[in-house]
Structure 1
Amino acid sequence: MKKIIAVTLFALAGLGLTTANAWAHSGRTDKNGCHMDRKAGTRHCH
């Protein structure tokens, strides 16, 4: 039973290390998937 718990905790910890946060933002994109970043005055592509 202890081995099952240890393996489960190890797997959950591994998932926590491999996930990444994605920050969405508003703004329409053109046909190339780009748009202007008005604050920076630069073009931003996805």
Structure 2
Amino acid sequence: MSEVVLLNALNTGHSADDIANRFGVTVEDVVRLCDEYDLQSCLGES
């Protein structure tokens, strides 16, 4: 999943669980990508 796809999903209000289900990955994968892409919004941080 690209940074743009992940960021778009986050910006439309989807939770990490929603994103994981939608893209067929685990929540841990989503969190790892958030860390990799340095996306603070994954963890609810601003």
- Give the TM-score taking structure 2 as reference length: 0.25
- Whichever structure has more strand as a proportion of its residues is 1
Higher-Rg structure is 1
- Whichever structure has more helix as a proportion of its residues is 2
- Give the TM-score taking structure 1 as reference length: 0.25
